[in-house]
A and B are shown apart, each in its own frame.
Chain A
């Protein structure tokens, strides 16, 4: 029998908290992109139509600008940003190429159902330099997807449409259940957008991409209901240590 003085008290288990899984996912992606050479820029969540739409080549007639898709505030003088792209615009107006920015944060769209929330998170990136092309964009996207989902993952590029990129693509990965899941949107920066930011589109070209954080966090953690992220339930949050 050990002497009484040799008996140590039980291990004192101090409860550590946890980062919110969405912020953890956002930080992980942004740290990955920083390692590729991107620099973080921030911008406001309350934006102007000019930065959120006009500068991004989103025409006045575009459905996204309608009251049923975008939250407007203060008698339509401003809006809640519908994507993090206006931050890229602010970055391009401030600095000259070559430039490589990422921005991440909350965005807002007028949706509220089992699969869409009025507030969600995005990470976006832009790289502008001489001779940036679509084949390089593909290389970057492969690197991002492989880092997130492993090199065994099967992915496909589909032509798509975003007013601020041309050509535009959406990227899907093949799930274990054999279903294609949309992961991100990307493309070459539309020359109109470069010119809007006083960048000579004959000399420079750019690539851009954007990821929805909730979608990726749901896939990585196996969360099936997006609303779980925002209930602040300690039984939920304590699982992400």
Chain B
């Protein structure tokens, strides 16, 4: 909600700056951004009472001297004769109708009404709707204006449950479905209660006679309607959060006053329907409890002073909660009020000492498995559980994001296959991934399993020992037998026939319930450790990479390290990775053959061969300056 600084400060004697008010609003829990002289407020859902100038001023009154100086019409009003019946008093326990007839439609607005449109840069609609919108901004109570000439016949408030068409005053045609609280005129819906009025009875720029409806709706009946029908409605935003049920008389009298400042009122009458009195909620005065909750020590006088500034009334040992604060019900609620006034940041900390208890290591087997896999070059991944494929046991999401994410996965392996193909498309030739996750299925109720799934394909590793070895079932079986010699694992080969890939490497997978692993694994001594810190992420490139190999012959063995140091530390913006993929020491011929693979990739552009050659040639040239080293073929 946007609120102009000038509209607040004109009521505050101390004349605080926008920054001073901003600080106080944050202290009170009213998050906002400042855009010029406008506060863009974001209120918590329990503070519907603050969705207005007056509401916000009620809170700021705890710090400042606030004078609303908003005049209201004070004279007696005639009773309006209207054929109205309320069939759903539980949803709308009170409603008032005010009828006004003016001599002319004003073209120029004065004072606060004019400033509202000017300062917030809003477009005008028609006079009565404009007054209604302003009053909602000033008081927090939405009202709805009907052109009185269109209200002829039986007016009903009721909850309907039938499919019905409805055209809003903003020309949007919607199909009402399910339960809806509505006003109907002669059986036709003319107002989706608390959300938006209908076109057939709306005011126009020519309307001189108006019926203003001012109601209280139970939030439960309004919540979700604006989203359901895709209607932007400030009224529903307020009704959903609760409005002040005791404000109607003042709001309508303020309406009359504003209208009278712009036109002569020829006729006016009012009628109010109220099915029950609004109860006054009372809480016992108990400053000891408040101090205990917050961990402070304030006096009862100080405590009650804070509350009275916020509009609470203290009588005979009880705190009477004002009608606009439907969120206050308990001592904890009052403690929050006090804490807000003091300022959360001004409450001194008190040392906490939670009793320590020694517990067995949580998920010990699972964690041991993770580090075992890390040791062998596997990367942990996390995948979304939403899938489009249905199996008989898959649990269906009633309200999926889209049809591709309609079910919950019943296995992890399929996600890992997608991950593998994703990385293969990025020229990765050694892929080892694992994921541990809950998976759910439905057969005789909801079943949960915690599975480990692994997938591996391509080279065993990117070093001179593993480069030429390919991952296969035997490799993984051997790996697991080392730590769990007594257990048999059902490794599977995934067929590439339906995977839309030209790569031929064998894909091996395993998916096992974690509970199936024996505690034997706990004796495994891992090499990998959790990172001690949090490394800074280096943005990655989605552009294609390419690799180039250089194989050296070294006759002067003492130069081997010099060559390694040069090449493994060679700096270039387009070198992504370099490693030794081949090493052979021929004692007989007194020769070392060593192969380096350079992976080229740019973060800015797709590399062309000339750009790669430039760096490649420099590498070759620098390396050949080392005596006793040659590149066969060059």
Contact = CB atoms under 8 A, between A and B. Distances in A.
Interface of A: 1-2, 4, 7, 9-10, 12-20, 22-25, 27-28, 36-40, 44-46, 60-63, 66-68, 71-76, 78, 80, 98, 100, 106, 110, 112, 117-119, 127, 131, 133-140, 142-143, 156-161, 166-169, 188, 190-192, 205, 217, 220-223, 228-241
A74 B564 CA distance: 60
Given A19-B380, A20-B382, A37-B355, A63 B224 contact: yes
A9 B332 CA distance: 70
Given A61-B220, A240-B535, A17 B446 contact: no
A180 to B, nearest CB: 9
Given A13-B463, A71-B397, A18 B336 contact: no
B350 A136 contact: yes
B377 A16 contact: yes
A241 B224 contact: no
A167 B461 CA distance: 55
Given A44-B438, A63-B240, A73-B396, A160 B29 contact: yes
Interface of A is mostly: mixed
B350 A168 contact: no
A191 to B, nearest CB: 6
A202 to B, nearest CB: 10
Interface of B: 26-29, 31, 44-47, 219-220, 223-224, 227, 240, 292-296, 330, 332-333, 335-336, 339-340, 344-345, 347-357, 359, 362, 370, 373-386, 395-401, 405, 408, 418-419, 422-423, 426, 428, 430-434, 437-438, 440, 442, 446, 448, 461-466, 527-528, 530-531, 534-538, 540-541, 556-558, 560, 564, 579-580, 583, 585, 587, 590, 592, 594
B478 to A, nearest CB: 16
Contact of B377 (A17, A133, A138, A229): A17
B583 A10 contact: yes
27 contacts: A2-B557, A4-B590, A7-B558, A7-B560, A16-B528, A17-B376, A17-B379, A37-B356, A44-B448, A66-B223, A75-B398, A117-B384, A119-B384, A134-B295, A138-B347, A138-B350, A158-B29, A159-B340, A167-B335, A168-B336, A205-B292, A221-B535, A228-B540, A232-B381, A233-B422, A233-B540, A234-B426
A232 B29 CA distance: 39
A70 to B, nearest CB: 8
Nearest to A237: B379
Nearest to A192: B330
A187 B550 CA distance: 62
Given A118-B401, A233-B426, 10 more contacts: A1-B558, A18-B374, A63-B240, A119-B385, A127-B354, A133-B293, A137-B352, A138-B347, A167-B340, A228-B540
B531 A241 contact: yes
Contacts, number: 282
Contacts of B347: 134-135, 138
Nearest to A31: B530
Given A12-B465, A60-B220, A46 B395 contact: yes
4 A-B pairs closest in CB distance: A159-B29, A135-B295, A37-B354, A133-B295
Contacts of A166: 330, 332-333, 335-336
Nearest to A13: B463
Nearest to B375: A16
B426 A1 contact: no
Nearest to B339: A167
A232 B537 contact: no
Given A1-B558, A7-B585, A118-B401, A98 B29 contact: no
A78 B294 contact: no
Contacts of B340: 159, 167
Contacts of B401: 110, 112, 118
